[in-house]
Amino acid sequence: EAQVTQNPRYLITVTGKKLTVTCSQNMNHEYMSWYRQDPGLGLRQIYYSMNVEVTDKGDVPEGYKVSRKEKRNFPLILESPSPNQTSLYFCASSLGGELQETQYFGPGTRLLVL
Amino acid sequence: AQSVTQLDSHVSVSEGTPVLLRCNYSSSYSPSLFWYVQHPNKGLQLLLKYTSAATLVKGINGFEAEFKKSETSFHLTKPSAHMSDAAEYFCVVSNTGGFKTIFGAGTRLFVKA
């Protein structure tokens, strides 16, 4: 089954404790992206990747890191989480390129930073 | 620069009546436009997309949207609402290739029996 998976689905952590949220897709998509969703703000793009080893900042990159060492995986790293990073996070992927921008979303990761 | 404005944060309709969810966008080039739906505690699903072919775009579950360049609008409509349409709807604009993506703040649709 074609899908985007995220782990963990739910996470409670404390301020400053490094964490990684994994994202994997099995559709051989070139493009992957991370978003955070907050009430009243919709989804905001954190980082995106156009291919292996090619990443760029979205609108809200502060406090986050990403890497794209393999085509299928795009982990999101919070080196020193803070309470304002409490949010619902979505990973997405698409084929990329003109007319192929439909994004497929993972189920979401709900993060609480105490 | 791109931006998306969803004109209503909440819309309430009765079952069987038409649905209109409004979206205005701005873009310095020809954008790709999308509507996604998010049901409670679920991920996002593509409803429809516009990518410079026909201006009237048909999507899943009876939804459609019309691209109006002169009005910079991409409103979502459905002739007859169903209870299962109750969800949050997002209007989305992206650049060619879909790398930079901007979501609207969302419109929550309530459907009354």
Asked if residues B66 and B57 have their Cβ atoms less than 8 Å apart, the reply is yes
Task: Tell me the chain A residues in contact with residue B94 when contact means C-beta distances shorter than 8 Å.
Answer: 101
Would an 8 Å CB–CB cutoff place A52 in contact with chain B? no
Which residue ranges in chain B fall short of pLDDT 70? 96-98
Q: Which of A23, A77, A50, A6 is nearest to B94 (CA)?
A: A50
Indicate which of B8, B36, B46, B99 best probes the interface with A, i.e. most A CBs within 10 Å of its own CB: B99
Tell me what pLDDT residue B14 has.
Answer: 97
> Chain A contacts of B105, Cβ < 8 Å?
40-42
Q: How many other C-beta atoms lie within 10 A of the C-beta of residue A51?
A: 13
Contacting residues of A for B104, CB less than 8 Å apart: 42
B103 interface with A at CB cutoff 8 Å:
yes
Q: Confirm or reject contact between A27 and chain B (CB < 8 A).
A: no
User: What's the maximum distance between 2 C-alpha atoms anywhere in chain B?
Assistant: 42
Asked if the C-beta of B27 comes within 8 angstroms of chain A's C-beta atoms, the answer is no
The vertex-A11 CA angle with A7 and A16, nearest 5°, equals 115
- In order, the DSSP letters of B45-107 are EEEEEE-SS-SEEE-GGG-EEEEETTTTEEEEEESS--GGG-EEEEEEEE-TTS-SEEE---E
Distance CA B21, CA B7 (A): 8
Is a pLDDT exceeding 70 seen at residue A99?
no
- Asked if B75 contacts B7 with a C-beta cutoff of 8 angstroms, the reply is no
B12 — phi, psi (to 5°)? -120, 130
Q: Would you state the structure tokens that stand for residue B1, as one six-digit string?
A: 């620069």
pLDDT one-digit tens code per residue, A32-83 = 999 999 988 999 999 999 899 999 999 999 999 999 999 999 999 999 999 9
- What gap in Å lies between CA A92 and CA A25, rounded to an integer? 9
Q: Do A101 and B9 touch (CB under 8 A)?
A: no
> Which chain A residues have a beta carbon less than 8 Å from that of B6?
42
Dihedral of alpha carbons B61, A102, B36, A81, sign: positive
Q: Give the model confidence (pLDDT) of B62-88 as tens digits.
A: 999 999 989 999 999 999 999 999 999
pLDDT of residue B54: 80
